[in-house]
Amino acid sequence: MKNYQFWLPLIISFFSAIFAYRANIYTKQQTRDSFKNTLRDGLKNAKYKILELEEREYKNHQEKMLIIESISDNLMYQAYPDEKNNYLNDSQRKDLSKLQEEIEDYLGLIMINTAPQENKSFAVSAIKNYLSKL
């Protein structure tokens, strides 16, 4: 009888630990997938916002900032550093940083009406390229 009382709680604890471990792994994977999906959605939204930009020179500073900030938010520019470190590999992080810088450059050129169609095309191509790697 005493053997039964000793082993039963031990067995229950063991299976409980296994269940908790698997649930933790599943939750981490879901969180990683959720972050990557959010990043994908943001990149797609940035792509559409870039395509919607008019071909004109943006002289109003406030209007420029609203557009640039909106697109930067979608690119997660300088946001979520912990999540980027945890859920993206080194190559993905470096490529995202490079993409963010390129998009900022392309937006600057679009804003001063320097080959806007060409720069839109470059920006959209850069986003599509990154999405294919994610």
Domains of the chain, by residue range, sit at: 2-133
Answer left, alpha or beta for residue 78, where phi above 0 means left and psi between -120 and 50 means alpha.
Answer: left
Residue of 4 and 129 predicted with greater confidence:
129
- At residue 2, the pLDDT reads 63
pTM flag (> 0.85): no
Helices (H), 53-115: 61-74, 81-87, 90-111
Cα–Cα distance for residue pair 73/83, rounded to 1 Å? 15
- At residue 130, the pLDDT reads 95
Which token pair is 13? 């604890």
The SS3 call for residue 60 is coil
